[in-house]
Amino acid sequence: MGVLPMQIIRSSTQYDVCIVGSGAGGGMAAKVLTEAGANVVMLEAGPMWDPVRDSYMFSWPYDSPRRGAPTEKQQFGEFDAAFGGWTLDGEPYTNAPGTTFDWFRSRMLGGRTNHWGRISLRFGPDDFRRKSLDGLGDDWPITYEDMKPYYDRTDQLIGLFGSKEGLPNDPDGVFLPPPKPRCYELLIKQAADKLKITCVPSRLSILTKPLNGRAACHYCAQCNRGCRTHSNFSSPSVLIPPAMATKRLTIVDNAMAREVTVDASGLATGVSYIDKNTSRENHVRARVVVLAASACESARLLLNSKSSKFPQGLGNSSGNVGKYLTDTTGLSVSGFIPKLMENVKHNEDGVGGMHVFMPWWLDNKKLDFPRGYHIEPSGGRGMPTFGFLGGIHNHIRAQAVEKIPTRSGYGKSLKDDYRRFYGSTVNFAGRGEMIPNSDTYLDIDPAVVDKWGIPVPRFHFKFTDYEINQAKHMQETFRAIIAEMGGRPMTEMPTRERLYGLAAGGRIIHELGVTRMGNDPNTSVLNRNCQAHDCRNVFVADAGPFVSQPDKNCTWTILALSMRTSEFIVAERKAGKI
């Protein structure tokens, strides 16, 4: 049903702040602003979601006839805490001819923080000043030293484990003790040490000790389902509850923001949104607007906020909204490791993620690509889920090459093979830096609207030789580690024509940069406090403000930057400036 041609329902209440989105950025903004005394309304396009009530953390595969396989609504599996995926019913987006960008969205309270990987890496000092170091992209208008206090307080508030390593561009945080490596992770570390690849305990926002009233993890390894004991980070576990406790947070769920409204002077007056329950348009008034709908959605909102004052969209007088889009580069290689076959049964329980990882370890000056990537290993004998024990039949086929006798067939002999081979593969996923380029951006599709009539984004995406050469290096490195472990890669190395297996843009789900910050209003959308150059009471608190896409996952910086932005808003309100 389309939007009914009815009068807009205008709320008489004027809130101090309207936050759009309740994920990492929106959740942190709600906590900081409400605790500072602001009356906040939060618009969230999805339904309410409570990890204690709604998580499938303790479900067994046999609890469902589908054994947890994906559904239209939960594309990562029906036990996964993601209401969404790369497609959403009635909410299309488009790709410019000849380009591919896949846009992942979760529609639920807490957004993607309910099922993210919890890999929680700070950006390093060099990441904020790359242009000064190698001439590519741009420097951020802030430094690591500006961010460090906010990273420290994010660590203390949310909690993460890790180890002090003193690495120059992977700064240590305020860590809880890391869990011990599992058997296959020890073998990976042995091989990495031999190849002189740095391999250290991972850094995940999962509690290995109780923190701030939250229980320590009990190692069920199901973090992607949401944690009923609040032992990992999600916005509904850690940020929304304290904001609600102030009684100054009003959450409007199933509220799809459509545009930021402005007055004749060009100041924001609030946000209009579609109530998805009624398909009617509502308007909420606020003195300050914080967009945290995820980077591309916030850019879409700004571009759709057209007025006589801002005919190109709000905050877009420089034409920069939508530009500088990047995603993390990514590909993975699996290997069969014969010495992991028929291993001694032992307890491999742990957190829902890796216990070791490899931060970038090389000097680029000797390489044919700039910047770097980190490596996320996985493997082991986790609880089987839908499918055929992680595609184990493929492993058995691979064994023909190794001349390891298989019994397979049907019944008992097949089960025996499953027992022998299960847990004998490892996987290495590379996650690297993409440099912004002028062919990669989003704009508004002139011809396509979503089911509420809101114009949708159109993506333009291109990798350059920088990313393609980096992908080749990832492939060669992962194959070298597998060989060092005495194993064999399970796939052929993809050719350059196939970009060495580089995942399509958007597939690594770290899209960012489309409302970037900067000191020059001609080349950036926001100032160094994530405040729109064009409109002093509009802020962006997701990954849109990022100037570059370092080789670290982005969410810890979204959280720390949102804390910084929110405290700036509090100070500006107190000073009467907004």
Residues that bind ligand SF4 (CB under 6 A): 57, 206, 217-223, 227, 229, 231-232, 351-352
Which residues, in sequence order, are bridge partners of residue 538? 289
Cα(115)–Cα(110) distance, rounded to whole angstroms? 9
**Is 443 within 8 Å of 461 (Cβ atoms)?**
no
Binder of ligand FAD out of 32, 41, 119, 238 (CB under 6 A): 119
How many CA atoms lie less than 13 Å away from 239 in the CB half-sphere?
A: 28
Contact (Cβ atoms closer than 8 angstroms) between residue 313 and residue 531: no
Give the H or E element holding residue 441.
strand 441-449
Query: Within 291-330, which residues bind ligand FAD (CB under 6 A)?
Result: 292-294, 297
- Does position 257 bind ligand FAD by CB under 6 A? yes
Closest CA to 234 of 371, 74, 352: 352
**By the rule CB under 6 A, 75 interacts with ligand FAD:** no
The three-state secondary structure class of 330 is strand
Among ligand SF4, ligand FAD, none, residue 116 binds (CB under 5-8 Å by kind): ligand FAD
The secondary element (H helix, E strand) that includes residue 488 is strand 488-489
Q: Which of 221, 238, 206 is nearest to 23 (CA)?
A: 238
d(CA 160, CA 232): 9
Asked if 419 and 428 touch (Cβ cutoff 8 Å), the reply is no
> At closest approach, how far in Å is the CB of 51 from ligand SF4?
9
Rounded to an integer, what distance in angstroms lies between the CA atom of residue 112 and that of residue 23?
6
Per CB under 6 A, 249 contacts ligand FAD: no
d(CA 359, CA 202): 9
Closer residue to ligand FAD (CB): 73 or 577: 73
Q: Which is nearer to ligand SF4, 241 or 486 (CB)?
A: 241
Q: Residue 257 binds what, of ligand SF4, ligand FAD, none (CB under 5 to 8 Å, by partner type)?
A: ligand FAD
**Strand 425-432 with 255-262, pairing:** unpaired
Select from 15, 16, 18, 21 the one that contacts ligand FAD (CB under 6 A).
21
**Residue 206, binding choice from ligand SF4, ligand FAD, none, Cβ under 5 to 8 Å by partner class:** ligand SF4
**C-alpha distances in angstroms, 165 versus 148, 172, 350, 473?**
17, 7, 22, 25
Nearer to ligand FAD, 337 or 559 (CB): 559
Query: How far is the C-alpha of 382 from the C-alpha of 436, rounded, in Å?
Result: 37
The stretch among 106-114, 212-220, 520-528, 563-571 that binds ligand FAD (CB under 6 A) is 106-114
Q: What's the CA gap between 338 and 453, in Å, rounded?
A: 56
Question: What is the rounded distance in angstroms from the CA atom of residue 210 to the CA atom of residue 231?
Answer: 8
Choose which of 282, 320, 553, 566 interacts with ligand FAD (CB under 6 A). 553
546 phi, psi to nearest 5 deg: -65, 140
CB of residue 231 vs ligand SF4: minimum separation in angstroms? 4
Q: Are strands 40-43 and 9-20 parallel, antiparallel or unpaired?
A: parallel
Is 79 near ligand FAD (CB under 6 A)?
Answer: no
Binding flags for ligand FAD, 554-573, as an x/- string (CB under 6 A)? xx--x---------------
- Dig out the tokens for 311 from the structure: 């005919």
We find the least distance from the C-beta atom of residue 160 to ligand SF4, in angstroms, to be: 12
Number of residues that bind ligand FAD (CB under 6 A): 38
Q: Among 101, 116, 150, 161, which residue sits at the site for ligand FAD (rule: CB under 6 A)?
A: 116
State which of residues 17, 22, 331, 482 lies at the interface with ligand FAD (CB under 6 A).
Answer: 22
Binder to ligand FAD among 19, 41, 45, 197 (CB under 6 A)?
45
For residue 21, the minimal CB distance to ligand FAD (Å) is 3
Residue 243 interacting with ligand FAD (CB under 6 A): no
Cβ distance to ligand FAD smaller for residue 416 or 567: 567
Q: CB 406 → ligand FAD: shortest distance, Å?
A: 33
Q: Footprint of ligand FAD on this chain (CB under 6 A)?
A: 20-26, 43-46, 104, 106-108, 111-113, 115-119, 255-257, 292-294, 297, 509-510, 542-543, 553-555, 558
